Amino acid sequence: MLRLHLHLVSDSTGETLEMIAKAALAQFEDADVTRHFWPMVRSRQHLDRIVPDLAANPGLVLFTLVNAETRARLEEHCRQLGLPAVPALDAVTEALESQLGQEARGRPGRQHTMDEAYFKRVEAIQFTIAHDDGIGWENWEQADIVLAGVSRTSKTPTSIYLANRGFKTANIPIVVESPPPDALFRLRRPLVIGLTTAPDRLVQIRRNRLLSLHEDTETAYVDDDRVRDELKYARRMFADNGWPVIDVTRRSIEETAAAAIRLYNQRSSGEDGAGDQGIKPI
């Protein structure tokens, strides 16, 4: 198994650098990677404090540092230690400079400035948390997206992810014995999206959930026939109301959210086909 120490050095929160590293590492199998995370490195003194760890755990250094002096000092330390140092955003920044005909502004954390988009995201997160699992249905008309699905179809984590992208998202569990409020079927502004999955996969997820809670696994909640009936009931509801459907069986939370955003943007731009997805899951 390949072993690697990966040092992530950022002058801001490091969120961008972490996502780049995660996406790149996903391309490699059987890699044992130890990550060393160094956010908010904005001074020579702070940088010097992490050098002993670089020396003690030699590996690859990825960095996003816009201050020329701090960056040069890191690169010099890496040269002395014989460590490869990769500026993660240089190629993209240089390409943008070429296309835009201007130099990039070297301000740490510029992408995290508290602008209108930041406050929109905060508002979306607050709304989503307050409207999880069918709560606050009286305010669903204020949502951008409403996710509907039977238990354990990733409604809550997908909602939170969408909220972090700035979408006010509510979600509602579809339960055969307890139909959703009529307000769900009268919504005009939000895009209602149905989430579905393969019955066998759903049974497995529910069973694992019960085991983690040390609860009895011999219940209707994980009965094969009962689960299939639940999914059929939900799918019929989605089709009857013309709601688009996303099959989450082989999708990660990020992929499900991306599909939801695509459907939302299609409807917002007036493209045809979004309403027909309720018949065939994407």
User: Which residues fall in the annotated binding site for ADP?
Assistant: 149-156
- 3-state SS assignment for residue 280: coil
Spatial contact of 85 and 61, defined as CB atoms under 8 Å apart:
yes
Instruction: Quote the crossing angle between the two packed helices 253-268 and 155-164, to the nearest 10°.
Output: 60
- What region, left, alpha or beta, does residue 176 occupy, with left being phi > 0 and alpha being psi -120 to 50 degrees? alpha
Q: Give the span between the Cα atoms of 55 and 79, in whole angstroms.
A: 11
Of 214, 238, 279, residue with least CA distance to 153? 238
Spatial contact of 168 and 214, defined as CB atoms under 8 Å apart:
no
DSSP 66-98: --HHHHHHHHHHHHHHT--EEETTHHHHHHHHH
Of 230, 213, 210, 128, residue with least CA distance to 171? 128
Spatial contact of 191 and 264, defined as CB atoms under 8 Å apart:
yes
